[in-house]
Amino acid sequence: MVANSERVSGTPKNGTTKSAKTRKKRTTSSSKGHKKTADVGETDYDVEIQAEQQPKTPPQKIQVKQRSVDGSSRNCSAIPAGVAVSDEITTTTFNDAGGFASGHYGMLLETKRAEQLCKSLALQKRHVVALYRAFKQEEQLGTGEITTGEFFTLLHEQPRQLTKGLFEEVGLARDIKRLHFDDFVLCVATVATWSKSELLHYAFKQFDVDDSGVMDSRELRAFCEGLKNDSSFYFAKNVNIAREKLAARDRKQQNQDSSRHLNQTSSRQLNKGPSGQIQIDNNGEEKTLVDLEDLVKGSTEFQVAFYPLMQLQQNVRACALGEDFWARATVRRQHVEVVVNYMGLHSGKLPPISFVTRIVAYLIPFSQAYAKTLVHQLAVLKYAEEQRKRQEEAKTRAEAKAQSLAQIEEEGKNRN
């Protein structure tokens, strides 16, 4: 049984299965499995952090409508609109194996996972309040949840193949019907801080239905159709052109590979036409295979065609806090990843940072020096969390191995 919790509201605004495909052979191969770590040292982190002015609102008395719930549902509280939110508000929440929040954001978040995500992005309480106000635009009945349809309405999006895998990608059930505020935070904060490559990888996974790592002609056609929605019909022609060029590029690569292979084959095995020329298969789109690397190149060459995909992220960012805020958070997240990689290669040691930088960071809270020290602080937290997960995984494997050995010994004794 979960204890009653409270949530503070801000002022709402009006507001096929098929056979596996063979991966393409490329003339050049890129090594995978080892991430390249940039030299961090005294790198100037281009992270812009600005102070946000908040209008002072006289504190008001909060009247909370409580309700208890069973283990199958989540506890939610409805608070009259127009209540000022104070940073001094605290709450008693649970931080046990069930994954409840520690109260870092007061009464706003319930789950430990949502709380950790917000902390990893350096979100402050006022930022979570802004997310809650966006959530309340659709949740106006005091139920503490919205439907997935209302979620997409808030994003000015439609449920389609490109978006239906979004919930699963952030760790929720693929067929989820209703979202609590913590679920909403997971969706918005995750998608809003995706890099361009992560956004393309997500889109690629939605249409690579057999999980083969390449899209065939049908999947490529479905991908391009999925980029078109009611709000981006002006880009349909550009999408079609991009698809044709991606397919043509792949056919050219296949023909070059075939020609190279045939030139290395005995003349008796060559397939020649009446004129004695080697026959190269030019069989249209049917043999097209496009991988993620092709898609990344295509998004650079045909930016207008891929704009509807980028627009998905822009809509998510626009629903709360805005494009500029999430763009800065994305850059900061990428810098944190660089520092974490550095720590992994140097036994957990941080990149060197000068004494002057520390002094400037202390004296000027919103300077580049402060941004750099903030990145280091977030990197330490992320590195510690990753180490904890590795230790838990190692412990689980050791326990499983010990249990397996014990069973083998027990079976041996029984035989004797």
What per-residue confidence (pLDDT) applies to 23?
46
Mean pLDDT, residues 181-199 taken together: 94
Cα 252 to Cα 286: distance, rounded to the nearest angstrom: 14
Mean pLDDT, residues 209-231 taken together: 76
Among 15-24, 103-112, 172-181, 281-290, the minimum mean pLDDT is found in 15-24
Domain regions of the chain by residue span: 199-262+283-310, 322-416
Yes or no: domain 199-262+283-310 corresponds to CATH 1.10.238: yes
Long-range contacts formed by 275-283: CB under 8 A, 24+ apart: 280/255, 281/254, 281/255, 282/251, 282/255
Cα 197 to Cα 337: distance, rounded to the nearest angstrom: 14
The pLDDT-based confidence of 350 (bands split at 50, 70, 90) is: very high
What per-residue confidence (pLDDT) applies to 300?
77
Supply angle C-alpha 226, 237, 241, rounded to 5: 90
For the cut 80, the answer to whether the pLDDT of residue 64 exceeds it is: no
The pLDDT-based confidence of 301 (bands split at 50, 70, 90) is: confident
The predicted-structure confidence for 5-33, as pLDDT tens digits, reads as follows 445 444 444 444 444 454 444 444 443 44
Cα 388 to Cα 384: distance, rounded to the nearest angstrom: 6
Dump the DSSP string for 218-253: HHHHHHHHHT--GGGGGGHHHHHHHHHHHHHHHHHH
The pLDDT-based confidence of 394 (bands split at 50, 70, 90) is: very high
The pLDDT-based confidence of 255 (bands split at 50, 70, 90) is: low
Cα 403 to Cα 319: distance, rounded to the nearest angstrom: 50
Whether 294 and 204 have beta carbons less than 8 Å apart is answered as no
What percent of the chain shows pLDDT beyond 70? Answer: 62
Crossing angle for the helix pair 217-226 and 196-207, to the nearest 10 degrees? 120
What per-residue confidence (pLDDT) applies to 327?
95
Mean pLDDT, residues 226-231 taken together: 62
What per-residue confidence (pLDDT) applies to 366?
83
Q: Which are the contacts of 139, defined by CB distance < 8 A and separation ≥ 6?
A: 145, 146, 150, 181
What per-residue confidence (pLDDT) applies to 242?
59
pTM over 0.95: no
The pLDDT-based confidence of 308 (bands split at 50, 70, 90) is: confident
Residue 25: how many CB atoms within 10 A of its CB? 10
Whether 196 and 175 have beta carbons less than 8 Å apart is answered as no
Q: Which are the contacts of 174, defined by CB distance < 8 A and separation ≥ 6?
A: 164, 165, 167, 168
Scanning the structure block, which residue is given the tokens 């509807």? 308
Whether 383 and 391 have beta carbons less than 8 Å apart is answered as no
Cα 391 to Cα 309: distance, rounded to the nearest angstrom: 38
Residue bearing the bigger pLDDT, 303 or 261: 303
Cα 341 to Cα 357: distance, rounded to the nearest angstrom: 22
The pLDDT-based confidence of 293 (bands split at 50, 70, 90) is: confident
